[in-house]
Amino acid sequence: MSNRSDANQITRDYFESLLIEMRHMDGVLPDTSFELFGEKFDTPIMMAALSHLNSCCDDGMAEMARGAKAAGAVNWAGMGDIAELEGICKTGARTIKIVKPYVSDDEIMERLEHAEKNGCFAVGMDIDHSFSGRGEYDVVLGLHMEPKSQQQMKRFVSATKLPFVVKGVLSVTDAKKCVDIGAKAIVVSHHHGILPYAVPPLMVLPDIVKVVGGQVKIFVDCCVESGYDAFKALALGADAVCAGRVIMDPLRKEQAEGVRKDILRMNAELKGTMARTGCAKLSDIDSSMLHQRLGW
């Protein structure tokens, strides 16, 4: 019997509930190019802020970065040490570094500064690791976390010249606060089911877009496995998506080349869907193309 509280399964089911209509007349070949923070990429399908990928292959984080670069995609880096980030940046992949909400604000500031000095083109914070499932402050790999106030977050945003991204936003309430602190982007995510019964990102996405759309870039994370998933997220107002666990098996089998191939596979699916829905460019994708399966 399936676990009805599993937020990942709920999210996957929600993706599957959305159906796509076709529009062929006056169609053109689509362009999936994507601009972010003044830079142009080949696809809006980005890496997720993964970490500790050495279980997949040697130097897994750098291999993922090489694959993202080869596919013309944005790379992300999650939790990891300073040396690992330096190795990621040396690949030349355009990387967004996400920092955990460590107890020490000084440590956060040091990591933001290090990311900027090493060539990351954006930085941010993962706010959803503030608490454990037991209602205590979180501890991740022995490192202590705590929730941050808006005043603290404003200080982090002001500490860097780079665009600041807040990851782990799953409500209009937090999305508004991200605008107030000066963030340039948010990641709508439940961090791979960190909260049982968490609302699927695509379900809350339209409300977030309605309130903060145009003020910040909006990315969607969690259970993105294909270009069809990406199309659905973009149709509901996302600017881009993050693909995480789906690339781990290709990374394990073929390292950077596996990642490159999987990003290209997903982008081809996105491009094919755009062609069959009359979308010449990403901004042409909208919610009128989606219909929800009965039962939702």
Smallest Cα–Cα separation from 116: which of 106, 124, 107? Answer: 124
Coil, helix or strand at residue 70: helix
87: how many CB neighbours lie within 10 A of its CB?
A: 16
* Distance, CA of 6 to CA of 109 (rounded, Å): 35
Give the closest residue to 218 by CA, choosing from 202, 246, 204, 237: 237
Q: Cβ distance 171 to 204 under 8 Å?
A: yes
* Residue 131: burial class (beta carbons within 10 Å; 0-12, 13-18, 19+): middle
Q: Establish whether 191 is a catalytic residue.
A: yes
The residues that bridge with 93 in the sheet, in sequence order, are none
* DSSP secondary structure, 152-179, as one string: HHHHHHHT-SS-EEEEEE-SHHHHHHHH
CA distance 220 to 201: 7
DSSP label of 293:
P
| Catalytic entry in 24, 52, 144, 191 | 191
Determine the Cα–Cα distance for residues 278 and 296; give it in Å rounded to an integer: 27
Structural contact between residues 257 and 67, judged by C-beta atoms closer than 8 angstroms:
yes
How many angstroms separate the first and last alpha carbons of the chain?
Answer: 20
The residue ranges of DSSP E strands in the chain, in sequence order, are: 18-20, 34-36, 39-41, 45-47, 75-77, 95-99, 122-126, 139-140, 143-144, 164-169, 185-188, 217-220, 240-243, 290-292
Tell me which residues are annotated as active site: 191
